[in-house]
Structure 1
Amino acid sequence: MLHLRAICPAERTDEVLAALTQHPGVTHVVVLRGAAVEPAGDVVEADVAREATDTVVASLCALDVDRDGGVTLEQIDTALSDAADRAEEKAPGEAADAVVWEELLARTGEESRLNATFLSFLAIACLLAAVGVVTNSPITIVGAMVVGPEFGPLAAIAVGLVLRRWDLVRRAATALAVGFPVAMAITAVAAFAGSFTDLFDRGMVLAAHEVDFVFQVGPFSLIVALLAGAAGMLSMTSAKSAALVGVFISVTTVPAAGFAAVAAVLAEWDICLQSVAQLAVNLVGIVAAAALVLALRNRRGQPRDLGRPLANG
């Protein structure tokens, strides 16, 4: 279940209470008159079955609570309550299949921002991938896959395409378009320094056959990217985040970027171009599959304001 808190003007509280109490998927409704200071108003709290959340949030947005007050949602890990059990039983659908669109928008919107943290993680991941390449270490390559933060913007692009949220698409595309070149440039500088100081040489890289899969682009590259994109979006929309780890270590986005940087420093342009192609195939495949999965999910009950720009966008 999700815990919902709404701040609303006092004159609209009765309507908010009616919207909540009339839905069978809502329970534990509490009202605190005059408790809100900024914005001023009443505070209404309730626990909502996940599969009912979209409809409930839509009804509150129809009352302009999101504009004149605010609506927040929090995940409830444990609820010991017969009333909560009844609400989940009466709510239509299954919790695992429910998409909370506002939650998905907020999550992907946050993870798609181009900031110092995103650039740092991407650069570190590319550097790890480069170390894996020059040391012929698949384990280090896997570590780079896990560290890489690129799935957030890729998922955001998919969400933006399906919901026609072009502000989200632009933000996420900018993060990727700036992030990967910057991370690859940093990796190239580090690789040049390593080559110049004899930390590794061309022979070491060309003999690293255990990591050749990173740049060997082919039909299975696209197949794996499509499967990973589908699994990743299912994980995000069903709140089964543990599956995302499997997504991270199944695609070669960051490793391909790191290999391309190392190959460019060594003037191995054929490997460099193949690595870039591998990167492109994975990026496109993940977005395509994620968007397809999202388009096939049930979109009934979306809040009417899903089309408005993100804050600070």
Structure 2
Amino acid sequence: MHLRLIVPPDRTGRVLDALVDDPRVTSVVRLPGAAQRPAGDVLECDVTREATSDILAYLKAEGLYDEGSVAVADVDAAPSRNARETEKAAPGAPDDAVIWDAVVDQAYNEASGSWVYYAFLTLATMIASVAVVTDSSILVVGAMVVGPEFGVVAALAVGLAMRNRALTWRSLRLLVLGFVVAIALATAAALLARAVGWIDAGSVTADRPLTGFIWRPDKWSAVVAVLAGCAGVLSQTAGRSNALVGVFISVTTVPAAGDLALSLALWVPSHIGGAAAQLGINLAGMTVAGVVTLLVQRVVWRIYLRVKGRGQAGARVEA
């Protein structure tokens, strides 16, 4: 991981020494007086992923979060011998390490509630409604991929696991409000389609061999939701965002919302309950699985560090 720091001049020497003396840190650069807002010295360095939480905790204790600046970025490749030697100084594998400050920061970003989030969720729900009418499994997958809700579910799991009430409330509010808005707008669109004669109650109640599972939750709905929740949180904490596509097309949140909107517009009570249950099971299962995954990661990593030790860490601070 690459760190760019703005350090108050009265702390530059101490922070610089700590970074240089830590064998898990390399490529340390100092630019005296280069920063203008906030004012201070600029320090840059590369840190092994396993040590990043330690280093960030040290920098926070030094007041850089409040009186300076800290920016963290991934290093895609570091093919130098020096970088390889630095990696050997840190216990564990990079994918096993969780950078908790980055996880929380990402969670806050996901829970910000931009209009783009509402737009994507609404469009995904409408695509899912069309999938129900046409009994198209391809459209179901498309709706799952378009839906942006997993980021908010992950943020909710982070808030619960970290006992962050503000993040928990923001995420829960956005998740509920997002689906309410998306279902309401999709219902309005379905009412319009009904008015012009494109659809009727039979569009929902007809035999649907490819999409009937959407409104009929069973034990496997809960199993898939739990597995997807674990995989999704792991992909985010380990920096494996490519795995999220698999998570998106595993859970039946958006398709259930689309079925629910269509059933409300055409008033098919037998489907309303099933679709709502499917939506609730998936959201609850992913959230619970996400919380458990985060807690297990914290415990396992701490135990591993105690067993292996932390090497000769100059800037070592308990995360």
Q: TM-score if structure 2 supplies the norm length?
A: 0.92
Q: Distance in 1 between matches of 2:210 and 2:263?
A: 16
1:227 pairs with 2:227: yes
2:5: which partner in 1? 6
- What is the correspondence of 1:185-200 to structure 2 with a 5 Å cutoff? 185-200=184-199
- What is the correspondence of 1:18-97 to structure 2 with a 5 Å cutoff? 18-97=17-96
Q: Distance in 2 between matches of 1:241 and 1:211?
A: 28
Unaligned runs of 5+ in 1: 307-313
1:209 pairs with 2:209: yes
Paired residue type of 1:132:
A
2:141: which partner in 1? 142
Specify the SS of the correspondent of 1:209: coil
Q: Distance in 2 between matches of 1:263 and 1:118?
A: 24
2:15: which partner in 1? 16
- Does the 8 A contact of 1:157 with 1:173 survive in 2? yes
1:80 CA displacement: 2.4
1:296 CA displacement: 0.5
Q: Distance in 1 between matches of 2:211 and 2:296?
A: 36
1:267: which partner in 2? 267
1:291: which partner in 2? 291
Specify the SS of the correspondent of 1:73: strand
1:115 CA displacement: 2.1
Paired residue type of 1:39:
P
The CA deviation string for residues 162-214 of structure 1, in whole angstroms up to 9 with x for no partner, is 11111100110110111101100000011111111122232233223320111
- Does the 8 A contact of 1:19 with 1:59 survive in 2? no
Paired residue type of 2:38:
P
Q: Distance in 1 between matches of 2:114 and 2:32?
A: 40
Q: Distance in 1 between matches of 2:229 and 2:79?
A: 35
Q: Distance in 2 between matches of 1:258 and 1:49?
A: 44
1:126 pairs with 2:135: no
Specify the SS of the correspondent of 1:232: helix
Q: Distance in 2 between matches of 1:18 and 1:284?
A: 47
1:272 CA displacement: 0.8
Specify the SS of the correspondent of 2:211: helix
1:60 CA displacement: 0.9
2:313: which partner in 1? none
Unaligned runs of 5+ in 2: 306-315
Q: Distance in 1 between matches of 2:17 and 2:172?
A: 42
Q: Distance in 2 between matches of 1:118 and 1:168?
A: 17
1:51 CA displacement: 0.8
1:311: which partner in 2? none
- Does the 8 A contact of 1:185 with 1:261 survive in 2? yes
1:218: which partner in 2? 218
Q: Distance in 2 between matches of 1:129 and 1:32?
A: 53
Q: Distance in 2 between matches of 1:166 and 1:244?
A: 26
Q: Distance in 1 between matches of 2:82 and 2:57?
A: 23
Q: Distance in 2 between matches of 1:262 and 1:204?
A: 9
1:153 pairs with 2:152: yes
Q: Distance in 2 between matches of 1:185 and 1:52?
A: 47
2:277: which partner in 1? 277
Specify the SS of the correspondent of 2:78: coil
1:13 CA displacement: 0.4
The CA deviation string for residues 57-110 of structure 1, in whole angstroms up to 9 with x for no partner, is 111111111111011001111212111111111112110100011111111110
- What is the correspondence of 1:90-109 to structure 2 with a 5 Å cutoff? 90-109=89-108
- Does the 8 A contact of 1:136 with 1:205 survive in 2? no
1:133 CA displacement: 0.6
- Does the 8 A contact of 2:6 with 2:70 survive in 1? yes
- Does the 8 A contact of 2:201 with 2:267 survive in 1? no
Q: TM-score if structure 1 supplies the norm length?
A: 0.94
1:3 CA displacement: 0.6
- Count of residue pairs brought into register by the alignment: 304
The root-mean-square deviation of aligned C-alpha atoms, in Å, is: 1.6
- What is the correspondence of 1:234-273 to structure 2 with a 5 Å cutoff? 234-273=234-273
